[in-house]
Chains A and B, each alone.
Chain A
Amino acid sequence: MTEDHSPAGGALDIVVFGEQLSLLPQRAVLWRARKMLIVADIHFGKAAAFRAGGIPVPHGTTRANLDALDAVIAAHAVRHIVFLGDFLHAKTARAPATLLALQRWRDSHPDLHLTLVRGNHDRHAGDPPLSLEVEVVDEPWRVGPLALCHHPQELPGAYALAGHVHPVVRLAVARDSLRLPCFIFGEKQATLPAFGAFTGGYEISGKQGEQWFVCTDDRVFAYPQPI
């Protein structure tokens, strides 16, 4: 595993199993060779699900997610997006307004290839509507030397990329402290931060042989000592 800081867009490139991956500050992985964008835990309709449960969350998070996708698609000429699970948050996430926004977005990118690797939320929420034209697969979904998954796991003969955990790291120096979304790269698997605009984070602690990369709004940084 090697790394290299490409100044363009604050991304950071690393190589796993011979494939170069760019870690984007937008909390996603770009596989340039395949023009493939990999995002974890987007949780569409989470705000709507909260509202259906009587908890007032303002609208705008679906828009924010779609705008963020659009920005990355435009910047990197993305042809294929793989969602690593938890595409829809819950059954009640299928609110008409949410589905309409998704449909309009889909219609504006007719040539984009979309794949969903099912996650635990998708099992309750159900697959995306057929009209969104999302290819739906179960984990592990192998693409070249990579295995795209929702749950972190180790697999023989492949490097696994997963989500599910929503990892964040607490960066603390003296009295200053920040929680930052983070990518975890181990020897045989990596975990991506949650992409969704309305998703929380789970504070992780380090394991042997792990490398962390933290995101601010405009840059990805390598975290100096994993443990």
Chain B
Amino acid sequence: MLRARSDGIGDDADTPRAAARSRSTPVERWFAAQGWKIFAFQRDTWQAAVRGESGLLHASTGSGKTYAVWFAALQHAVPALAKSGPLPVVDVPVAAKRAKAINQTGLRILWITPMRALAADTARALEAPLSALLPTWTIGSRTGDTSGSERARQLRSLPSTLITTPESLSLLLSQDDAAARFGTLDAIIVDEWHELMGSKRGVQTQLALARLRRWRPDLMVWGLSATLGNLQQSRDALLGEGRGVLVQGKTRKKILVDTLIPEHPSRFAWAGHLGLQMLPAVVIEIDGHASTLVFTNTRSQAELWYQNLLAARPDWAGLIALHHGSLDREVREWVELAIKNGQLKAVVCTSSLDLGVDFAPVERVLQIGSARGVARLLQRAGRSGHSPGRVSRVTLVPTNTLELLEAAGARHAVAAGQVEQRPVPDTPLDVLVQHLVTIALGGGFRSQELFDEVRTAYSYRALRPDQWQWALDFVARGGQSLIAYPEYQRVVPDADGVYRVPDAAIARRHRMSIGTIVSDASMQVQYLRGARIGTIEEGFIARLRAGDRFLFGGRMLEFVRVHEMTAYVRRATSGTGAVPRWQGGRMPLSSTLAHAVLDCLEEATHDDYSGPEMQAVKPLLALQQQWSALPTARKLVVEQLHSREGHHLFFYPFAGRLVHVGLAALISYRLAQRRAATFSIAVNDYGFELLSATPIDVADIFPASDMGGAMFSSENLLEDVIASLNATELTQRRFREIARISGLVFQGFPGQPKSTRQLQASASLFFEVFRKHDAGNLLLTQAQTEVLEQELELQRLRETLAELRSRSLQVCGITRATPFGFPLMVERFREKLSTEKLSDRVARMLQELEKAAAR
């Protein structure tokens, strides 16, 4: 099937270049023909691949990664490409030459990408060397965007190389001839693995790989990843524990992190301030460069900055654009293309542009507000400086004075090469339940065989037989094995013990809901005339009345009406309006970055203010020191204040928002155990505040004998945290995703038959029914575990408690809020700790409503 070409790589042994050619491989000659040098890391990757080894290639920023793994896969699949001398000539039948679209080789290489938007660009890059080296090979992609006709063609025969997403791969695995279709596979590349590994999509990928490895035991797998704090684990999660090699890519250039220093840094940091006072400085930066990406942390912040930039520079209309995840796909694609073509001066964006193809024209990256983590900062820095000879540079734009501290910390951490770890999900049973049905569709399974296979996936390496049996019973019997439900039919074993899906309707419903991305209920936003703008959460739309204005997609819009899950709007001529708030967790400050900040504070206590950021924040820190003290990694500072509002206690552990929520609830709960009290709680990334109507005796928290040992004890931590927070409500919220992934909740589709609608119920209803009638349901346990680990960062809370126990304590009585305390004191969103009965709670809430109405 292989065939040498006569255009410089081939067969003419008489020419002077032939001698050199016989010492080089076809791949080397192709690189030479492009005028490219082969990097050492590319050679390392290829050599490992020729030996048949799998691996993970990582670099924070860098080029040549794609071809490193692409040629690794090709040389593994076609060994002749790695041997010196000409490619052997293989006669290709004329008919096959003509019908090139019909793949002769079967599927050989699978390329998995987290973003379907990347598929087209990836295909172009992979295709480039093929015409010279392997002209009979075909490339195709299979994502949610693939057309029906293309799907039909792929149903007949898959291309030699298929570019796909984890969801589409699972969908292919659910076809009953999956084993045959993947039976010729030689290699798999997983692109942007760091993006997948921490999520359930990554787990879905692990399970798919386990499946494919069973069919093809010699399958080679290579991952591409950004630099992470836990690369070994990242490799293990992709390849199995202790397997495969780690190759470090060529880091293209140094990364420069700097900060736009405000002219007059205020001594008081106002949380939630959008930092628009930095607008003029940002305008100057954008003006001075050909193309800039302006990253913000939230979609509403992006909308505001875009609007304000336009107001400041009306002449930039058409030259600057907005990009975030709620905008319509067509709009986003247009913006991406325009950046690539160098047509845009600036794009205000969110994490929606963290990933994706290289934007060569981008010279500059600005980060508005804290990036919250070092890895994210590096990722964003890497979006700039792709032109030769340029550096990757990210400039931090603090939105309040305390963020200067974070900027200083970030610079420290980047210089020291400290990057966050990314945790891998542990035994998520919802994904397993989905996988069982997928495999039952894709040819069926025997229990023991699939159990062994699933255990080779890293996230399920500790899967216990009882958990397995539970998941199997859940899909095969509808619940615990002790109860018989004769009417239940989802996955049914045949006489040989092979589990399959007998019902076509169930099969169709399952295929439509494969995947692990669960989005909030949202509504299309569309002009009356028809053009789509994007999607907004239902909750926001529900609060709008006709005529209300809101900012979306960079325009002021006027709400007209809702019809069939679409919100119709028209352009508003002028005026101001609300900015939609999208839900979605605000990321907490990472532990790595928080510790870097504590180190900077430590230096400040020794009067060491190095760097422009520390110089700028010096007046604030000096005031904090004068009125109170500076917290460091060795000292916990607690401030006590009496105001008209009541009695305040401020703590500064610097452990990130989520840990502070848990910590504040824990301490107030433990205090309330000793003496009845009600606390109002405010948190931010640096600390938290407890506010009480009655005096809080600090000696109660920190008796001289143990200095907080009991308060910060890890004993009974789990029980206390669950008791102190409204854990049930948190868990119920978390259950939404689990219900959807495990197939309990089916999102309807247009034109669905009535019989499907009768099978729709909300996740919260399932949650209630399970809690009442099946308390042992492991999906409930999973929801609680996820709340504890992800929303409350229990492990980090435990570590923080240990750190706090080892820190010395300084309690400062203060007469007014300090620079660190001020943002907490003005925080409007407060949690309340109470242990009321439902009826009492409702009675109180109704009373409050009544009071408000009477006003």
Contact = CB atoms under 8 A, between A and B. Distances in A.
Interface of A: 10, 47-61, 64, 89-90, 92, 95-97, 121, 124, 171, 173-176, 178-180, 197-200, 214, 216-219, 221, 223-225
A200 B762 contact: yes
Contacts of A96: 486
Contacts of B486: 95-97
Contacts of A60: 769, 772-774
Interface stretch (B55-63, B808-816, B828-836): B828-836
Contacts of A90: 755, 758
Interface in B207-224: none
B744 A224 contact: no
Given A56-B474, A58-B770, A64-B772, A89 B758 contact: yes
Contacts of B831: 175
Interface of B: 474-475, 477-479, 483, 485-490, 503, 505-506, 509, 743-744, 746, 754-755, 758-759, 761-762, 764-766, 769-770, 772-774, 777, 829-832, 838-839, 841-843, 845-846, 848-850, 852-853
Given A58-B770, A217-B839, A51 B487 contact: yes
A47 B774 CA distance: 13
B773 A58 contact: yes
B773 A61 contact: yes
A59 B485 contact: yes
Given A48-B487, A198-B761, A176 B772 contact: no
B845 A54 contact: no
A57 B766 contact: yes
B166 to A, nearest CB: 23
A56 B758 contact: no
A216 B477 CA distance: 34
Given A56-B744, A214-B842, 6 more contacts: A51-B487, A53-B506, A56-B478, A57-B478, A58-B777, A89-B758
Contact of A56 (B488, B848, B853): B488
Contacts of B852: 173
A217 B765 CA distance: 16
Contacts of B848: 173-174
A56 B779 CA distance: 12
A201 to B, nearest CB: 8
B853 A225 contact: yes
A176 B839 contact: no
A196 to B, nearest CB: 10
Contacts of A57: 478, 766, 769
A178 B842 contact: yes
A53 B759 contact: yes
Contacts of B489: 52, 54
A216 B849 contact: no
Contact of A52 (B488, B772, B846): B488
A43 B287 CA distance: 65
Nearest to A56: B478
Nearest to A172: B845
Nearest to B743: A55
A198 B487 CA distance: 18
B842 A216 contact: yes
Given A54-B506, A95-B487, A223 B846 contact: yes
Contacts of A53: 505-506, 755, 758-759
Given A180-B842, A198-B765, A175 B829 contact: yes
A134 B801 CA distance: 63
A61 B846 CA distance: 30
A54 B841 contact: no
Contacts of A92: 487
A55 B474 CA distance: 9
Contact of B849 (A61, A64, A121, A173): A173
Contacts of A97: 486
B729 to A, nearest CB: 9
Nearest to B744: A55
A9 to B, nearest CB: 13
Contacts of B853: 224-225
Residue of B475, B487, B852 contacting most chain A CB atoms (<10 Å): B487
Contacts of A218: 839
28 contacts: A47-B769, A51-B488, A52-B489, A54-B743, A56-B474, A56-B488, A56-B490, A57-B769, A58-B770, A59-B479, A59-B483, A60-B772, A61-B773, A64-B772, A92-B487, A121-B758, A124-B758, A173-B852, A178-B841, A179-B764, A198-B765, A198-B769, A199-B765, A214-B842, A217-B838, A218-B839, A221-B842, A223-B846
A54 to B, nearest CB: 4
A44 B765 CA distance: 16
A178 to B, nearest CB: 7
A19 B611 CA distance: 80
B845 A176 contact: yes
Nearest to A94: B487
Nearest to A180: B842
Nearest to A121: B758
Contacts of B841: 176, 178
Residue of A49, A53, A95 contacting most chain B CB atoms (<10 Å): A53
Contacts of B761: 50, 198, 200
Given A59-B483, A92-B487, A224 B769 contact: no
Nearest to A59: B483
B480 to A, nearest CB: 8
Contacts of A50: 759, 761
A80 B555 CA distance: 60
B838 A216 contact: yes
Contacts of A121: 758
A14 B152 CA distance: 64
Contacts of B774: 58, 60
Contacts of B490: 54-56
A170 B831 CA distance: 19
A53 B765 CA distance: 17
B772 A173 contact: no
Given A57-B766, A64-B772, A178 B845 contact: yes
A175 B830 contact: yes
A58 B765 CA distance: 12
A200 B766 CA distance: 9
A125 B846 CA distance: 40
A205 to B, nearest CB: 8
Nearest to B842: A216
A224 B487 contact: no
A55 B759 contact: yes
> Which 4 pairs of residues, A with B, have the shortest CB-CB distance?
A60-B773, A58-B774, A54-B490, A56-B478
A213 to B, nearest CB: 11
B616 to A, nearest CB: 35
Contacts of B478: 51, 56-57
Nearest to B777: A58
Nearest to B437: A54
B759 A224 contact: no
Nearest to A125: B758
Contacts of B744: 55-56
B485 A173 contact: no
B845 to A, nearest CB: 4
Contacts of B485: 48, 51, 59
